[in-house]
Amino acid sequence: MSGIPWVLHVDLDQFIAAVEVLRRPELAGKPIIVGGRGDPTERAVVSTASYEARAFGVGSGMPLRIAARKVPDAVILPVDQEAYLEASEQVMGCLRAQPGSTVQVLGWDEAFVGVETENPEAYARQVQAAVLGETLLHCSVGIGDTLVRAKVATGFGKPAGVFRLTEANWLEVMGSRPTKDLWGVGSRVSARLAKLGIHSVAELAACDPTDLVPEFGPRMGPWYAELGRGDGARVVDDTPWVARGHSRETTFQQDLTQPAQVDEAIRELATRVLDDVEAEGRPVVGLTLKVRYAPFFTKTHARKIPETFDRNEVLSRARDLAAAIEVGRPIRLLGLRAEMAMPDDARTGHTPTRGGW
């Protein structure tokens, strides 16, 4: 296939909910909430919600009990990671089978597809038809001349649509929007930009990148200015993604209030995280402890450590971080993330990612 190089961002619509409907067709059209063990009386958060549930204000990350109050007649289901992974692998295989495609997987439900074509809209529709035909799942496709523009474009195509964003129409479409609408910015960075007098995408695009350096540093400052213009990488990289770290977290059904409880929880988290790290065969070089106090205040404590494979050393360092926990303050969640040394040939760069700490 030959033509103009394009980036397509393929994003599965309400992916987890859609997989559940495929397994239970009788749920089609009903408000579906997926989270935790499917019990709203337990502490858990929403992993995803169907469009019908989202219409009531339910969103990912919302406490499950609050979501259940918003939609009393919702069908609440437990998370089934294996089912979602299996469906995701089918979709990614379908994308790789498309003529002339280069596929960069971003997560269970999204990927970039690089292709050379004279008609990217027609190719996008072909991709949608192939995914639907093979997996019965609908997807939206953003088309762009950079990865950033393709990713942002997808939001305008949902659900099951196609939208194109390029240098030519970027500011027309995005210029008046708040900076938090940009992929990789979010509400916290947007608030910091607002302190500099930058509120809209157009203002960010027009700023002098050096003006952002005092607030964000010499690397991230110019990068945020680049995001404002929609610029960045134009080539889809299918190099296998290499995890920088592994994390585990636990939401406790009853708050932890005793030091011995906290110590036991950290020991258990460290064991689970190190099991994941050992499978990678790379040493730990940093730790981050996430603490969520009741009712819902979160703090993180991070530290670089000398490269080590020693489980006892990692546990000791994790306990050192735990010394910063406020004594006697009830804890509803603990999480531990272990950063690993990166192989020399691992993909690098500043492509924004979703989630994480």
**Residue ranges of domains in the chain, CATH in brackets:** 170-229 (1.10.150.20), 245-340 (3.30.1490.100)
How far apart CA 179 and CA 159 sit, in angstroms, is: 23
CB atoms near residue 338 (< 10 Å): 27
Distance CA 327, CA 322 (A): 10
pLDDT of residue 2 exceeding 80, the answer is: no
Q: In sequence order, what are the beta bridge partners of 135?
A: none
pTM: 0.81
Cβ-based neighbours of 134, under 8 Å, separated by 6 or more: 90, 94
Which residues lie closer than 8 Å to 117 by C-beta, 6 or more apart? 1, 3, 4, 6, 100, 123
Residue 340, both tokens: 């690993």
**Spatial distance between the Cα atoms of 93 and 246, rounded to a whole number of angstroms:** 25
Residues 218-277 have pLDDT tens digits of 999 999 999 999 999 999 999 887 888 999 999 999 999 999 999 999 999 999 999 999
Q: Residue 193 pLDDT > 50, yes or no?
A: yes
| Whether residue 110 lies in the annotated active site | yes
Q: Could you tell me what percent of the chain has a pLDDT over 90?
A: 89
Share of the chain above pLDDT 70, in %: 96
Give me the catalytic one of 20, 42, 82, 110. 110
Q: Provide the 3-class DSSP secondary structure of residue 352.
A: coil
